[in-house]
Amino acid sequence: MDYFLYLTQMCGIFIILAVGLNLINGMCGQFSLGHAGFWAIGAYTSAAFTVFVAPPLPGFIVLFIGCIIGFITAGIAGLIIGVPCLRLKGDYLAIATLGFGEIIRIVIMNMNSVGGPRGFTGIPQLSNLFWVYLWVVITIVVIANIVRGTHGRAIISIREDEIAAESMGINTFRYKTLAFCVGAGFAGVAGALFSHTTQFISPTNFTFMWSVIILLMIILGGMGSITGAVVGAIILTILPELLRFFGDTVSQWRMVIYSVILILLMMIRPTGLFGKHEFNPLKFLKLGGKS
Amino acid sequence: MNPIMETQAITMRFGGLVAVNEFSMKIGANDLIGLIGPNGAGKTTIFNMITGHYLPSEGKILFNGESISGKEPAVITQGGIARTFQNIRLFKDLSVLDNIRIAGHSRLSYGLASSIFRTKAFHEEENKLRAEAFELLKIMKLEHRVDSLAKNLPYGEQRRLEIARALATHPKLLLLDEPAAGMNPNETKELTGLIRWVRDHFKIAVLLIEHDMKLVMEVCESIYVVDHGELIAHGGPKDIQNNPKVIEAYLGTTEV
Ligand SMILES: Nc1ncnc2c1ncn2[C@@H]1O[C@H](COP(=O)(O)OP(=O)(O)O)[C@@H](O)[C@H]1O
Ligand SMILES: [Mg+2]
């Protein structure tokens, strides 16, 4: 597969992951470190569907069903994990979600039907640039519309002040769970697109490190900004590829370079590139659009 | 007339500390009642029990004749009790308009799908909510701040916004926790008028915790005084002013 095409598709997949995590971490303020786990669930369930059960339908329909399956299974996993974990706060929630993310990976590692530690091979390449970016658009529109409605305001109020939110009649647990499930669901979609892009997935694709990298994307872009999540995802997908031009040593120091960039960013612009602001193309083109 | 809210001998213990001891009070549907006492007397703790943030160790709280002890704070607010906080708790990074709209959340009925697909129901309800918010901000003299972030408001306006936000939940009982704290005498005077006006205009009951004795004496028809978690006096402003126990409680601490 063409290298640049592949990279462009990976950018789209990470945009979906980052925009979803941003709903949980940036909008709702719930520190989740288990995003790679939901990504894995979508990747594996959709791949299993395509390889084992899909009827002979056109590829794009199979992929679409795979994405829906990814959304639902990862969303349900989000519900199962969210209900016990979302009663925890701050660091405790981060540790619990981290643990669950790893559990998902270890369970997959022990499932021989999907290749276990050897990985899942022979997934047809049903995804392409068009389908990836169609889902990017769907993800952004759905999440932006949620955020700009009353459910989204309820989600954001929890980030702002949970006690005040409760006192305004908002069922905080319900909206935390909602944000968590929707974010997890889109990670599942990203998983489906990923497995049908790379044609091979293994548990090592979904380590805790990736949860951290997706988190870095939204911190870089600005927690709470969808625009920021998109930009952060693009930068951190392309950066390691750029670093490759400088040879293997530089490439191996990737995480150190990330850390340095992050430290610099926190010193210069602690709210991330976009803060909580959005780039609104309608407003930019003076076509209106109200708050 | 039946009281709208009643606490029946509520007690709150934190480990060995008895913060509130068998506190009983009644509030009528359109009363303006004061709750005073020295620092640490247990006033905020009483609020926290009424709003469901604390579960009383003993005793019962009735609202509209129904027990609300053990209910979630959100459910109690939806039932008609709203509050402000001693240390302002606005949604700081959100606009004034959003602060108000969030308080209207539980009155909206459109679902998540309506929001995603921007249905007619979404637009209708959102427009109505917006119009209501503007109207409330206007009568609370905050309309010039609609788009400002809450954190950028001057202190007095933040206090006012917090009251407006509480009112946006459409309460029947409004609990104000030291709304004049940190205000200058001018702002306090304005607030005094506002509290009375809010009670009359919205026809609700108001329970006011206040440190500023003058304010309380001026606006409240009836006052409860607590000290060390105990109710030490209850009566009209005149009775309270001359009550030796109250004078002692206030002189005993260096505050007044
Ligand atoms: N969550 C809590 N845990 C332990 N002690 C508390 C808690 N809340 C209040 N208290 C204690 O209860 C007493 C009454 O506090 P509070 O109700 O805030 O007083 P007031 O509002 O009258 O100044 C104080 O001694 C305070 O330290
Ligand atoms: Mg207090």
The type of residue at B139 is I
Considering its fold, how many domains does chain A have in total? 1
CB pair distance less than 8 Å for A172 and B74: yes
d(CA B60, CA B10): 6
The type of residue at A182 is V
Q: Does position B158 have pLDDT exceeding 80, yes or no?
A: yes
> How far is residue A171 CA from its own chain's centroid?
25
Phi and psi, residue B226, nearest 5°: -115, 150
Using 50, 70 and 90 to split pLDDT, how confident is the model at A40?
very high
Which has the minimum average pLDDT: A115-119, A139-143, B57-61, B106-110? A115-119
The protein residue with its alpha carbon nearest to ligand 1, atom 17, reads: B42
pLDDT at B101: 98
pLDDT at A147: 96
Calculate how far, in angstroms, residue B41's C-alpha sits from the geometric centre of ligand 2.
Answer: 8
As beta bridge partners, residue B11 has B58
d(CA A170, CA B211): 30
Q: Does position A226 have pLDDT exceeding 50, yes or no?
A: yes
Residue A269 burial (CB count, 10 A): 13
Contact indicator for A233, A14 with CB cutoff of 8 Å = yes
Using 50, 70 and 90 to split pLDDT, how confident is the model at A289?
very low
Domains and CATH numbers, chain B: 1-80+171-256 (3.40.50.300), 95-168 (no CATH)
Q: Which domain holds residue A14?
A: 2-207
- Find the CB nearest B106 among A152, A163, A169: A169
Restricting to B residues 117-136, those with a Cβ less than 8 Å away from any Cβ of A are: 117-118, 122, 125-126, 129
Phi and psi, residue B96, nearest 5°: -55, -45
In this prediction, residues A142-162 reach a mean pLDDT of 97
**Chain A residue with the nearest C-alpha to that of B107:** A169
pLDDT at B252: 66
pLDDT at A291: 46
Residue A213: inside a domain: no
Q: Does position B57 have pLDDT exceeding 80, yes or no?
A: yes
Contact indicator for B28, B1 with CB cutoff of 8 Å = yes
pTM greater than 0.95 (yes/no) = no
d(CA A79, CA A95): 17
**Chain B residue with the nearest C-alpha to that of A173:** B74
pLDDT at B256: 44
The ligand with the least distance to the CA atom of B21 is 1
Q: Which atom of ligand 1 is nearest to the CA of B39?
A: 23
Residue A227: inside a domain: no
Rounded to the nearest angstrom, the minimum Cα separation between B146 and chain A is 11
CB pair distance less than 8 Å for A291 and B108: no
Using 50, 70 and 90 to split pLDDT, how confident is the model at A51?
very high
Phi and psi, residue B141, nearest 5°: 55, 45
Residue A166: inside a domain: yes
In this prediction, residues A61-74 reach a mean pLDDT of 97
Q: Please name the residue ranges forming H helices in A22-127.
A: 35-48, 59-85, 90-109
Contact indicator for B224, B231 with CB cutoff of 8 Å = yes
Contact indicator for B37, B249 with CB cutoff of 8 Å = yes
Q: Would the CB of B40 count as within 6 Å of ligand 1?
A: yes
Task: Please give the interface size between A and B, counted as residue pairs whose CB atoms are below 8 Å apart.
Answer: 96
DSSP B57: S
Residue A23: inside a domain: yes
**Chain B residue with the nearest C-alpha to that of A157:** B91
Residue A111: inside a domain: yes
Q: Does position B253 have pLDDT exceeding 60, yes or no?
A: no
pLDDT at A284: 63
Best CA proximity match to B198, nearest among B228, B236, B172, B224: B172
Residue A191: inside a domain: yes
d(CA A269, CA B2): 58
Strand B81-83 and strand B32-36: the pairing is unpaired
| % of chain B exceeding 70 in pLDDT | 97
Chain A residues whose C-beta sits inside 8 Å of any chain B C-beta: 142, 145-146, 148-154, 156-157, 160-161, 163-172, 178, 276, 291
**Chain A residue with the nearest C-alpha to that of B91:** A160
Q: Does position A17 have pLDDT exceeding 70, yes or no?
A: yes
In this prediction, residues B120-140 reach a mean pLDDT of 96
Q: Which atom of ligand 1 is nearest to the CA of B37?
A: 22
Scored b (16 or more CB within 10 A) or e, A223-248 reads bbbbbbbbbbbbbbbeeeeebeeeee
Residues in chain B: 256
Calculate how far, in angstroms, residue B45's C-alpha sits from the geometric centre of ligand 1.
Answer: 6
Sign of CA dihedral B141, B147, B150, B152: negative
Q: Does position A117 have pLDDT exceeding 80, yes or no?
A: yes
- Mean predicted lDDT score pLDDT of chain A: 91
CB pair distance less than 8 Å for A168 and B103: yes
pLDDT at A106: 94
Q: Would the CB of B249 count as within 6 Å of ligand 1?
A: no
Tokens for A84, please give them.
Answer: 């016990």
Phi and psi, residue B36, nearest 5°: -125, 170
In this prediction, residues B127-135 reach a mean pLDDT of 97
Tokens for B143, please give them.
Answer: 């309309």
Using 50, 70 and 90 to split pLDDT, how confident is the model at A290?
very low
The type of residue at A48 is A
pLDDT digits (tens, 9 = 90+) for A227-284: 999 999 999 999 888 877 787 777 778 778 877 887 888 788 888 888 888 877 666 6
**Hunting for tokens 């790893």 — which residue is that?**
A102
**What ipTM was predicted for this assembly?**
0.92
pLDDT digits (tens, 9 = 90+) for B172-214: 999 999 999 888 888 899 999 999 999 999 999 999 999 878 8
Rounded to the nearest angstrom, the minimum Cα separation between B99 and chain A is 8
Residue A291: inside a domain: no
What counts of helices (H) and strands (E) characterise chain A? 13, 0
Q: Does position B235 have pLDDT exceeding 90, yes or no?
A: yes
CB pair distance less than 8 Å for A169 and B110: no
CB pair distance less than 8 Å for B92 and A160: yes
Tokens for B38, please give them.
Answer: 């020295």
pLDDT at A282: 63
